[in-house]
Amino acid sequence: MRKIFKAELQALGDDLTQMAELVNKAITGASHALLNGDLDTAQQVIVDDQQIDDLERSLDERCVLLLAQQQPVATDLRLVVTALRMSATLERMGDLARHIAQVARRAYPTTAVPAQCTPIFEGMAGAAQRVATRIHGLLDSHDLDMAQTIEEDDEILDNFHTDVFSTLLGGEWEGTPQQTIDVTLLSRYFERFGDHGVSVARRMTFVVTGDFHRAATNDAVS
Amino acid sequence: MRKIFKAELQALGDDLTQMAELVNKAITGASHALLNGDLDTAQQVIVDDQQIDDLERSLDERCVLLLAQQQPVATDLRLVVTALRMSATLERMGDLARHIAQVARRAYPTTAVPAQCTPIFEGMAGAAQRVATRIHGLLDSHDLDMAQTIEEDDEILDNFHTDVFSTLLGGEWEGTPQQTIDVTLLSRYFERFGDHGVSVARRMTFVVTGDFHRAATNDAVS
């Protein structure tokens, strides 16, 4: 039984890693589409989100079957419950990347982000992509140093989020109402992406260090 | 064992019902604070959100203990996993009510919603409160008719969300950039509140009707 359980747990970890890889691809594509007005890439991100949703469903089903067939207790049980939570968070990160791509698609053939805000969104896109890359790395390698850098990039995203509002309210903002709406929502999507990244990183840290109580109770910062 | 399990499941249901009651109180207070510029109520909603977070944690811990001690399988197992998911969704609905209250607090002593948008936000507030009231009723009474009305109110919220953008982009919008930002985010918060309401309603429907596979795989519409 124990051997089967370990193999099943490994398969769960592989699914989570694959989800993180797809989220990384999604936020990279969405950022590129947004900053370059690239319609094809935006469209691809929107279509590909279904893969992440499907993976979440199969992973969740795997978790339920694992609970039913292996009846894990203590640490093993908390590992499975934590995997369930991480898959929901990764799915949500995929949704946020899709939302960014949808804004890019709607704005085509112009870009949703006016020149005045381009440097901020280049910064946000960079930080969000680092978060996604490191979550993938963290799930793949269990290297906890990555968790710390994810928290740092989340703080960078929060600061850019504040910068966006300073720009919009600074008196020199010349955007149209549509641009104000787009920039407000895009900033919110990137900021939430970082929050969810921190949630995954903390859960993973607790999985690796064995502090499962905190993993079970630590929810997305909002 | 079976008797203990049933009692534990009842306690889970009670916790979820209590969470829904607090979410209902939160969205009612947040809506009132927003539309009336009521600082005290806004502050109370923000402080009280901690109760919802605490309840989520204790409910989740209860679920994990239940899984460990009772080792449920089949339908019983899916019930517990569904409860875990519903508590996460209700917690998020509490966060959204808190975000609305925070916008109301920041705008004080003025109101965040300019007169031009007041009718729309009165409509959104009404629909969101109906969603919360019916979720509470659904969890309390298992009356599935309520699930259908929740879907209808979610659609009403989606339509108001579209109306907000039409107003902002209609050429007669006279709001400041701060008002454009506030109205954009508030509309998003109400719209997401409806999405999460539908997610809880669908899960609850599947719990009552026994179609657990759909309950386990049905995530917040986004």
- The overall average pLDDT reported for chain A is 92
Please name the residue of chain B whose CA is at the shortest distance from the CA of residue A178.
B169
pLDDT digits (tens, 9 = 90+) for A65-104: 999 999 998 889 989 999 999 999 999 999 999 999 999 9
Instruction: Tell me the two tokens of residue B164.
Output: 């907000």
- Shortest distance between the Cα of A126 and any Cα of chain B, in A, equals 24
pLDDT given at position B209:
83
Q: pLDDT band at A56, cuts 50/70/90?
A: very high
Chain B environment of A56 (Cβ under 8 Å): 219
Say if residues A206 and A218 touch (Cβ distance below 8 Å): yes
Instruction: Tell me the two tokens of residue B64.
Output: 């994990």
Q: Is B54 on the interface with A (CB under 8 A)?
A: no
pLDDT given at position B74:
87
Please name the residue of chain A whose CA is at the shortest distance from the CA of residue B184.
A181
Please name the residue of chain A whose CA is at the shortest distance from the CA of residue B56.
A217
Q: pLDDT band at A1, cuts 50/70/90?
A: low
Q: H or E segment at A179?
A: helix A177-209
- Shortest distance between the Cα of B56 and any Cα of chain A, in A, equals 8
Inter-chain residue contact B67 with A67, CB threshold 8 Å: yes
Q: Is B219 on the interface with A (CB under 8 A)?
A: yes
pLDDT given at position A212:
55
**Distance of alpha carbon B105 from alpha carbon B111, whole angstroms:** 9
Domain B2-217 has CATH 1.20.58.220: yes
Q: Is B77 on the interface with A (CB under 8 A)?
A: yes
pLDDT, one tens digit for every residue, chain B (222 residues): 678 888 998 999 999 999 999 999 999 999 999 999 999 999 999 999 999 999 999 999 999 999 999 999 888 998 999 999 999 999 999 999 999 999 999 999 999 999 999 999 999 999 999 999 999 999 988 888 899 999 999 999 999 999 999 999 998 998 999 999 999 999 999 999 999 999 999 999 888 887 655 554 544 444
Min mean pLDDT across A188-202, A208-222, B122-136 is at A208-222
pLDDT digits (tens, 9 = 90+) for A118-165: 999 999 999 999 999 999 999 988 888 899 999 999 999 999 999 999
Our CA angle for B105, B109, B115, nearest 5°, is 95
The residue assigned the tokens 């108001």 is B160
Looking at residue A170, the DSSP 8-state letter turns out to be: S
**Distance of alpha carbon A141 from alpha carbon A7, whole angstroms:** 17
pLDDT given at position A213:
53
Contacts of B27 (CB under 8 A, 6+ apart): B93, B96, B97, B100, B125, B128, B129, B131, B132, B193
Please name the residue of chain B whose CA is at the shortest distance from the CA of residue A183.
B181
Nearest to A74 among B60, B61, B68 (CB): B68
pLDDT given at position A5:
87
Distance in angstroms between the alpha carbons of the first and the last residue of chain A = 40
Nearest to A61 among B56, B63, B216 (CB): B216
Contacts of B13 (CB under 8 A, 6+ apart): B83, B139
Asked if residue A8 has pLDDT above 70, the reply is yes
From A212, A210, A215, A176, select the one nearest A199 (Cα to Cα): A215
Asked if residue A17 has pLDDT above 60, the reply is yes
Inter-chain residue contact B217 with A57, CB threshold 8 Å: yes
Q: Where are the domains of chain A?
A: 2-217
pLDDT given at position B171:
86
Asked if residue A221 has pLDDT above 60, the reply is no
Chain B environment of A222 (Cβ under 8 Å): 92, 95, 99
Q: Is the dihedral of CA B123, B127, B132, B133 positive or negative?
A: positive
pLDDT given at position B206:
83
Distance of CA A9 to CAs A14, A65, A75, A135, B47, Å? 9, 12, 12, 18, 39
Q: Is B163 on the interface with A (CB under 8 A)?
A: no
Nearest to A184 among B77, B185, B216 (CB): B185
Chain A environment of B164 (Cβ under 8 Å): none
Inter-chain residue contact A181 with B178, CB threshold 8 Å: no
**How does DSSP assign A100-139, residue by residue?**
HHHHHHHHTTS-SS-GGGHHHHHHHHHHHHHHHHHHHHHH
Q: pLDDT band at A220, cuts 50/70/90?
A: very low
Phi-psi region of A72 (alpha: psi -120 to 50; beta: other; left: phi over 0): beta
Chain B environment of A81 (Cβ under 8 Å): 63-64, 67, 84
Q: B162, B184, B191: which to substitute to probe chain A, counting the most A Cβ within 10 Å?
A: B184
Say if residues A157 and A191 touch (Cβ distance below 8 Å): yes
Nearest to B77 among A53, A68, A78 (CB): A68
pLDDT given at position A4:
87
ipTM associated with this complex: 0.91
Q: H or E segment at A207?
A: helix A177-209
